[in-house]
Amino acid sequence: MSKRRITAELLAEKGAHCDQLAKFRERFPNGIDLETVRPEEVVGLDVGWAVLNMLPVPAWEAFEAAEAAARKAYKEADDAEWKAFGKARDAAWKACKQAWATAPKGSEEDAALEAYKEARASALEVYTVARDSAWEAYEEAKARAAIAVFREHWQ
């Protein structure tokens, strides 16, 4: 077995949480080889815990710097998408209120409210997809950083 292999048994020795051990065992029943593992394979595992509990301080610092940059990029993307959602929602609400102000009472009011609800739901879906995509990019960046520091610092 390669010295640059991480197994569930090793993670257990280091004190990994049982839910992480279960995920790891399910994905990697024979462990992982640090030379061949790809970042997308470890997304969803607590790679930050692994870095902090298995590697020396210089590795922590390198990982934390990369993770902070990825987190900042995620937050910037999320903030921009949330603003875009707010603008779309506000425009739909404005149109709804204008329709209420000019329409005769009754079904036109209901139609305006339904149009607002549909526009809001559509804008929220666009936001959700963009947020989830940004989160996936963040998780992949964390995984790349963890693999890089493991390859450099793991003995």
**pLDDT tens digits, 71-93:** 999 999 999 999 999 999 999 99
What are the sequence ranges of the domains in the chain?
5-153
Q: Tell me the residue type at 16.
A: A
Cα separations (Å) of 132 from 75, 77, 78, 109, 127? 12, 10, 9, 34, 8
Place of tokens 């077995």: 1
pTM: predicted TM-score of the whole model, two decimal places: 0.82
Tokens of 100: 């209420």
- Per-residue pLDDT of 116-144, as tens digits, reads 999 999 999 999 999 999 999 999 999 99
Question: Other C-beta atoms within 10 Å of 142: how many?
Answer: 24
Question: Other C-beta atoms within 10 Å of 8: how many?
Answer: 21
Burial letters 94-112, b for 16+ CB under 10 A, else e: eebeebeeeeeeeeeeeeb
User: In this model, does residue 107 exceed pLDDT 70?
Assistant: no
